[in-house]
Structure 1
Amino acid sequence: MAHDTRLTDPATAPAAPPGPAPATTPAGGGVRLRGLRRAFDGRTVLDGVDLDVAKGEFTALLGHSGSGKSTLLRAAGRLDGGGEGLVEVPEPSAVVFQDARLLPWSRVLENVVLGLPGPRSAALARGRAALAEVGLAGRERAWPGTLSGGEAQRAALARALVREPELLLLDEPFGALDALTRIRMHALLHDLCARHRPAVLLVTHDVDEALLLADRVLVLADGRFCLDLPLPGPAGPDRRRDPAFPAQRERLLRALGVPESEPGADLP
């Protein structure tokens, strides 16, 4: 079932007619945002943004710090009720943040199944299966403080996927990881999304990460999308060998105002 939320904040919303009337479930069970507006201290961060993400589609969102990427993600996850616009998303949804946000006083398996409905025995079985799927079989009784950064993010992914989300929201989930661990996490996330087929919205500062993982990359600037770049062909590390890869990368960097296309460039 889709969740339909009209966002209104009289203190910050511009004097404008209300957004479109609530719609039915988005076609195919994806995401539908219309006229999304959000302002902070009089500065408009999102200025009437429209976005559709189809079921099974992986969309990456790029932009400089403060461009509104995380604000848009929070709106899609119904974590921020301010502003104005129509937010229609499938349920259930799950969010993975840069910080794994595991409860340090609970073991890994208990973190994964926290709040999971249904009989406890079934929840624990699903949690063990999810941990095995992310490569953490045998670590069910580990304390979060004993996990590496990559293992903690694997546990966070397991906690998200055990809920079988129709929408997976990722807010720079690999930003704090070292380069080699990030490469391994890219491969894992690609495989998991291909298997589970949720609609995915990834916020990232890493142009290469967006190009390797996504079906489509959006660039947010001045409160609106300034570029919507579809990426044909299968995602994954083989994209680096695609003759179109350098031109796609250069186009994204130009849209972001980065003067030099250096390998591995991240945004400020």
Structure 2
Amino acid sequence: MATDVGGLIRVKGLTRVYGDRAVLDGLDLEIAPGEFVALLGQSGSGKSTLLRALAGVEGDAAGDGLVEVPAQVSMVFQDARLLPWQRVLDNVILGLDGAVERGRESLAEVGLAGRERAWPNELSGGEQQRVALARSLVREPRLLLADEPFGALDALTRLKMHGLLRRLYEEHRPAVLLVTHDVDEAVALADRVLVLDHGRIAAEQRLDDGRSTAEIRTELLRALGVTEGYSGKVSRKSC
């Protein structure tokens, strides 16, 4: 069960089992208040399971371990998950009383001032994700969980969203845990990048240790079981 301990995020000995498979296996993790962490891992490594544990929405998973998170937690998904029968502003302030002005300000922060009365189907995919970000930030979270929020966007829109997320992070300073399959995205956005493998943190790279981005990228790819040859093409190691 998640426990509120202020701004620090702490996970100790976290195990989550589905059927006879341990998706998380004694995982330990700490995230400091205001720290931006990216989480990489192959499909099935337990990334989304960890996010659900931190969000307290685990369903029928069995397991054990300590999970300490702030009380104010928001989550952004790969799809915007907007209610099609609610206008944009109503989606942003859903469940919040007396928050119309805050909602307008949050939409302005993500570049959607003036679109408060639009319907979700009138927005592009990138704009819908902007609404999802506004909906998360209007709640003033101390922890923002992001589960591949840009995975469905085209390359140019992804780059724009990277800049937007980093700017919003600098302004609001929640702790962030971003799940992604994209090494370059992780390196571009995070202060620290983790690799999850077989239910445990298998590697960690800090972006402020004086090494070049290329060196860090190479180490992360190696931890993911990927080698980069002289041609620059990425190929997976044979098992």
**TM range, normalised to the smaller chain?**
over 0.9
Change in Cα spacing, 1:264 to 1:232, as seen in structure 2 (3 Å) is farther
Which residue, 40, 47, 72 being the options, matches 2:50? 72
Which residue, 30, 36, 54 being the options, matches 1:52? 30
Identity across the alignment (%) = 63
Partners of 2:171 and 2:191 in 1: CA distance: 15
2:190 counterpart residue number? 214
1:204 counterpart residue number? 180
Partners of 1:96 and 1:266 in 2: CA distance: 30
Structure 1 contact 208–264 (Cα < 8 Å) conserved: no
Structure 1 contact 207–266 (Cα < 8 Å) conserved: no
TM score, norm. by length of structure 1:
0.82
* Pairing 1:115-194 to 2, within 5 Å after superposition: 115-116=95-96, 118=97, 120=98, 123-194=99-170
Partners of 1:155 and 1:136 in 2: CA distance: 8
Partners of 1:257 and 1:161 in 2: CA distance: 35
Q: Does 1:107 align with 2:87?
A: yes
Letter in 2 for 1:71: T
CA-CA distance at 1:263 after TM superposition: 7.2
Moved over 6 A (4+): 261-267
TM score, norm. by length of structure 2:
0.92
Change in Cα spacing, 1:128 to 1:208, as seen in structure 2 (3 Å) is same
1:84 counterpart residue number? 64
- Identify unmatched segments of 5+ residues in structure 2: none
Structure 1 contact 217–230 (Cα < 8 Å) conserved: yes
Partners of 1:264 and 1:151 in 2: CA distance: 32
Letter in 2 for 1:162: V
Per-residue CA shift, 1:117-145, capped at 9, x if unaligned? x4x3xx10000000000000010000000
1:236 counterpart residue number? none
1:38 counterpart residue number? 16
